Amino acid sequence: MNRQAGPASPRSGSRRWAAALLGALLPALLMLSATGADAAGTRAADAKPVVTLSKQQAGKGGDITVKGRGWRPNTLLMMLICGRSTPDRGVIGGTNSCANAEGRAVTTGTEGDFSKKMPVAEPPAPCPCVVHVATVTGEQATADAVFVVAGHPVAALPKESEGGRLAVLATTRLEGDNGILTWFGAPPARQLVFTVGNLGSAPVKDPVFRIGTAHGVFAPQWEERQWRGTIESGRKAQIKLPVELTAGAHGDYQVSLKYGSKVLAEQPWGVGRPWGVTLFWILLCAVVPAAVFRIGMAIVDKVRPRTSRTPGRAGRHRHPQPADVTDGLPKLRRAPGPAESPAAAPTTTAALPWFTPDSAPSENRPTTKGHS
């Protein structure tokens, strides 16, 4: 007997409608979430640190207040007044154009903001000038604010070269060797040698590179190095830049080369331990106690009381010695032997205390012992 299918229940119909509606809306929801994530990422990427100044112009000897926001929290920053710079082109020539001696360091707060006073100084390069703020450790971030140093010379900026692009064409290497002073803790120094080529359509003149040295898990410490010369389009050049570590440095280091915002190469550097310093401390720990002991013994020998041989000296007393006791006794002389000549014998003989010269026994006079 065949069972005829009845009409569908309302509950099963609603489930089918919900599944169909969810299948239609799911692609739209995915597209909206992706669009929102991209927008959030774009806003995060577009967020750049900002620097503002309390004064746009001041003369040498004054001071200004520098404020910033949008930086990484708890980050160490360096503030400098730089010449030959604009916010669009940055600091031309690196920190060589900045008043480095009058710079100030500041640490951002938990929200990435800061406020710090700094003195106004004349940079070594002519204006236009900026207040240049950059991170010291971690990911590189910079910001510039236009500033006018009153009374400082002003000169036109050099023409901007368009189309110049450098790339490392060969493996980098470190040249140099340690000297005897490095064995005793002097700063290790090398030369980073690399070959770059200009892949752009315009020449690159006096490029400024950045050399970073990192030890272990710490962020690299960057220093600017400018190479004097021009690399024409389609040409290559070998460049040597000095690299120096701190005194007493040892262990595994990583040397990085950066041009602009791009890291061109990285080179490991294993620095040996300065064993001369260890040897020096070992010798110091052995020699100093011995020298102190000798000095102490010499002082004790100088200050201890000494016996005096001069009679009648007040405040000094010494115990009688055996030589003093025998000084009062008569001197005994040995009789000359058979081999000695009579002429060598002394003419006088000291008399013994218990004999007189007449009663002394003689070889020619017999004794009365044994005679009646």
Q: What would the pLDDT profile of 294-352 be if each residue is shown by its tens digit?
A: 898 888 888 888 765 555 554 455 555 555 555 555 555 555 555 555 554 455 555 55
| Position 207 pLDDT exceeds 70 | yes
Q: How confident is the model at residue 43 (pLDDT cuts 50, 70, 90)?
A: very low
Residue 103 burial (CB count, 10 A): 17
| Position 372 pLDDT exceeds 60 | no
The tokens for 143 are 């910001």
| Position 11 pLDDT exceeds 80 | no
Q: How confident is the model at residue 45 (pLDDT cuts 50, 70, 90)?
A: very low
Q: Are 106 and 114 in contact (CB under 8 A)?
A: yes
Strands 221-226 and 208-215, bridge-based pairing: antiparallel
When mean pLDDT is compared across 97-101, 144-148, 201-205, 343-347, the lowest value belongs to: 343-347
Q: Which residues have CB under 8 Å from 360's CB, separation 6+?
A: 352
Four-point Cα dihedral 284, 290, 294, 300, nearest 10:
110
| Position 368 pLDDT exceeds 80 | no
The reported pLDDT for the residue numbered 52 is: 94
Q: What percentage of residues in the chain have a pLDDT greater than 70?
A: 68
The reported pLDDT for the residue numbered 25 is: 57
Q: Which residues have CB under 8 Å from 336's CB, separation 6+?
A: 342, 344, 345
The reported pLDDT for the residue numbered 38 is: 45
The reported pLDDT for the residue numbered 4 is: 46
| 283, burial (CB in 10 Å: exposed 0-12, middle 13-18, buried 19+) | exposed
pLDDT averaged over every residue in the chain: 77
pLDDT tens digits, residue range 88-126? 888 887 778 899 989 999 999 999 999 999 999 999 999
User: What residues pair up with 224 in beta bridges, in sequence order?
Assistant: 210
Interval 116-141 mean pLDDT: 88
The tokens for 318 are 């010494």
Q: Are 127 and 85 in contact (CB under 8 A)?
A: no
Residue 12 burial (CB count, 10 A): 9
CA distance 314 to 261: 92
Tokens 């021009």 -> residue: 230
What 8-state DSSP symbol labels residue 200? S
The reported pLDDT for the residue numbered 118 is: 93
Interval 225-243 mean pLDDT: 90
pLDDT tens digits, residue range 239-271? 999 999 988 888 889 899 988 778 888 889 988
Amino acid making up residue 106: V
CA distance 199 to 231: 10
> pTM of the prediction?
0.45
Q: Which of 61, 58, 77 is nearest to 115 (CA)?
A: 77
CA distance 44 to 134: 19
Residue 164 burial (CB count, 10 A): 19
Q: Are 88 and 142 in contact (CB under 8 A)?
A: no
Q: Are 148 and 78 in contact (CB under 8 A)?
A: no
Highest mean pLDDT (candidates 53-57, 264-268, 359-363): 53-57
CA distance 278 to 343: 78
The reported pLDDT for the residue numbered 367 is: 56
- Note if the bond before 128 is cis, omega within 30 degrees: yes
pLDDT tens digits, residue range 167-192? 888 888 999 888 788 888 888 999 99
Tokens 């003369």 -> residue: 59
The reported pLDDT for the residue numbered 287 is: 86
For residue 249, the SS3 value is coil
Q: How confident is the model at residue 281 (pLDDT cuts 50, 70, 90)?
A: confident
For residue 149, the SS3 value is strand
